[in-house]
Each structure stands twice: as structure tokens, then as C-alpha cells.
Structure 1
Amino acid sequence: MQRNYAYLRVSTKEQNLNRQLDAIKQLNEYIDERDIYVDKISGRDFNRPGWQALKRSIRSGDTLFIHSLDRLGRNKTQILQEWQWLVDNKINLLC
């Protein structure tokens, strides 16, 4: 059974995730709260607890919703590597 996931990230604990969460909810797609992964940490690299947990949970055929590509990270090369991982694992990505 295919599932929908969401990934939200802000750079600091003081920043608010509401804008990203609202944008995801406007897609009118059902995403169970347990399938929303969050990091409040720099996008410097992908060694983030929420991102790593998401990668362990998401499966081929699932869909990942993110507000925008910059929420994945700051480094273009690393973003492309993670994007390729999603493609290789047949995970749909919607921004």
C-alpha cells in the first residue's frame, strides 16, 4: 500500500514550521501525522535525525511532499545526491 510522507525543516529551534505545514495541508492529500518528519537543524548536510528516520521508513511507490527544495538542504550537490536516492528507490517527490 502506497503512503504519503512529508518532510519539514527549519534551521533553528526558534523558527516556526507552520508555513510549511499549511502548504502541505493545502495539497488536499492525506498524510498521517506519524508520516510527517521534522528537523529543526541546519541544512548543512543530511545527517539529520528526521531525514534519516524518513529514509528508513519510506518505500518504493510512496510519495514525499516537501514545501520547496531548499527545505531539503543548502548544498546543491548534496540535494542532487538525495534526489537521486529518491529516484533510485522509486519514491515520488512533490514540491
Structure 2
Amino acid sequence: MKKNLGQFAIGDGLLRYYPDKVLGRLNKWIVINDENARWNLAKIFSSAEGMKYIVRAEGIIITLLNDERYKVKKAIHSNLNKVRKKEPELFGKLAIKMDS
């Protein structure tokens, strides 16, 4: 079984030290319409460090929420629910609407 470490390498690793560069790169990657690429983008924000940047990445979050593919929608909804529970103040700063 393969393990996906991208969310931790990017979310907890690179994002911590190079937030502007990583967020800039994520804004370029979000135009990729590949389901797996978008799932990976969503999972970046499930890491502890990734959560800190979810407001700055709101455009990416909105794009992922508008993706009709189940895998992508499930990943981003799961992450947002996690943020809502662990960081309610941070979640309150997001100007998004989640449809369950």
C-alpha cells in the first residue's frame, strides 16, 4: 500500500518555511484539472501548518469546493470540517459556504 506524504511534505514542511512561494505555486497548480492533483491540493490544508494558511488560500479552497468530483469534494469538506472543529476562529474568517 502506498502512503501519500505530499500533504505533510508540502503542508507541514515547505509551507512552514516558504509560505509565499508555496502559495504562489498552489495558485498555479489549481488550474490543473486532474482529480488526483486537486485531491492533493485539498489535503495540504489538513496538516497543522496547512490549516494556518487556509484563509490566504481561500481562492483555492473555493475552486476545490466547486469541483464536482466526489474525491475532491470529500477531501476539501473533510478538511474544512476539521478546521471548523479545531480552529473555529480561523474557520469564521473564511467567507465560504459549504453545502454538505
Please tell me the TM-score bracket, short chain as reference.
Answer: 0.3 to 0.5
Higher RCO structure, 1 or 2 (CA under 8 Å, sep 6+)? 1
Task: Provide TM-score, normalisation by structure 1.
Answer: 0.37
Higher strand share: 1
The TM-score normalised by the length of structure 2 is: 0.36
